[in-house]
């Protein structure tokens, strides 16, 4: 309502506040819109991550001064933790996004750690599950059998059954 310039100023102030709660070895980056990512280098304990998430909420929720008036900003924080080489950047971002969405549902100025069970509550997962139920009822599922061939002999060693949603 105050224009793009005011929105840009809010983003600058939030970015500055986020940078103030992390170490020099950490990274704060804006993904787009009003979403930021913080990469904590070498944070080993959930306690440390929890403490940083609380600091983020505290600094972001402080009133922002624009054109002589104070404005309230709220935030929701989703936390995902790198657990090994199978965790790609995309996977970690997706998990943090899922946790953030769940935190938003709990109310503003909250944070949650990603848990595998959250995938079941993910809106996209729910949409797919609903679609699959409809696909079964509408007879949109097809079974295809595919042989498994022994490379050395060329002999059929078995088969796979593939279920496809058409």
Tally of CB atoms within 10 A around 48 = 12
Catalytic pick among 8, 26, 34, 58:
34
Classify burial at 157, counting beta carbons within 10 Å of its beta carbon; exposed 0-12, middle 13-18, buried 19 or more. Answer: exposed
Alpha helices per DSSP H over 21-155: 46-60, 89-106, 118-121, 123-137
CA distance 76 to 103: 6
| 44 is an active site residue | no
Kindly list the catalytic residues: 34
């Amino acid at each position: 309502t105050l224009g793009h310039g005011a929105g840009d100023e809010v983003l600058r102030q939030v970015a500055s506040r986020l940078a103030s709660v992390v170490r020099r070895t950490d990274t704060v980056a804006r993904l787009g819109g009003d979403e930021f990512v913080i990469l904590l280098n070498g944070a080993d304990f959930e306690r440390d991550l929890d403490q940083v998430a609380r600091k983020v909420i505290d600094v972001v929720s402080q009133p922002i001064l624009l054109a002589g008036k104070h404005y309230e900003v709220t935030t929701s924080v989703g936390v995902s933790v790198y657990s090994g080489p199978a965790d790609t950047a995309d996977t970690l971002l997706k998990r943090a996004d899922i946790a953030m969405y769940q935190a938003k549902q709990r109310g503003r100025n909250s944070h949650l750690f990603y848990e595998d069970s959250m995938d079941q509550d993910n809106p996209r997962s729910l949409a797919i599950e609903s679609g699959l139920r409809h696909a079964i009822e509408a007879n949109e599922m097809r079974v295809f059998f595919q042989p498994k061939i022994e490379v050395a002999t060329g002999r059929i060693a078995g088969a796979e059954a593939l279920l496809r949603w058409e």
